[in-house]
Amino acid sequence: MMLHLTIDGVPAQIEILLPPPACRFRLDGEEREADVQQPEPGVYSVIMNGRAYDARIEENAVGLAVVIDGFRFRIDVCDPRRLARPSGGAARKGAETITAPMPGKVVRVLVAPGDQVEAGQGLVVVEAMKMQNELKASLAGRVATVPAREGATVAAGEVLATIG
């Protein structure tokens, strides 16, 4: 999963390669590892390069702030998967391929080949980093294929369903 960040006004890019607790990530092209635990909501205990950090996430009206060892960092996060998709999906026609946005596990398959779906209807639920993501159709149509299987592990970009 790739995220675009702005940390105190400086742009950065982070790619989560392996979710917590044994976290592996690439920050601005440099691969790193950390052990990450969440002892309570909004608080993370991080061990990286043999050093322990406590990070507190604060959400306010202007965005996020992370406080580490008394230093406050303003963070803006842009998740490309959450960017707005073209509206008017119900009026669109054509084919669509639904792919896994990140590595994870298929928790539920909500449709079968031949099902008629509407724009915005859930198709497959994938769990990644302890969060469940419902992948939805962006256009109305008939489900052509559903290679996704409940319980299966999927890679980022793997085809989960097609609408034709």
Residue 141 neighbours by CB distance under 10 Å: 20
Terminal CA-CA length for the chain? 27
Is the overall model pTM greater than 0.75, yes or no? no
In the sheet that holds 116-117, the strands lie side by side as 96-99, 159-163, 141-145, 116-117
Distance CA 23, CA 46 (A): 10
Q: Are 11 and 3 in contact (CB under 8 A)?
A: no
Give all domains of the chain, ordered by start, each with its CATH number: 2-80 (3.30.700.30), 92-163 (2.40.50.100)
Mean pLDDT, rounded, for 71-88: 66
Q: Is 82 helix (H, G, I), strand (E, B) or coil?
A: helix
Would you say 73 and 63 are in contact if contact means Cβ atoms under 8 Å apart? no
What is the pLDDT at residue 80? Answer: 61
State the pLDDT confidence band at 65, using cuts at 50, 70 and 90: confident
pLDDT value for 37: 93
What is the percent of the chain where pLDDT is above 70?
A: 88
Residue closest to 101 by CA, chosen among 121, 84, 75, 125: 125
Please name every residue paired with 156 in a beta bridge, in sequence order, or none if there are none. Answer: none
d(CA 147, CA 140): 19
Q: Which range has the top average pLDDT, 1-15, 68-82, 83-97?
A: 1-15
Most confident segment among 34-38, 79-83, 94-98, 119-123: 34-38
Please give the mean pLDDT across all residues of the chain. Answer: 84
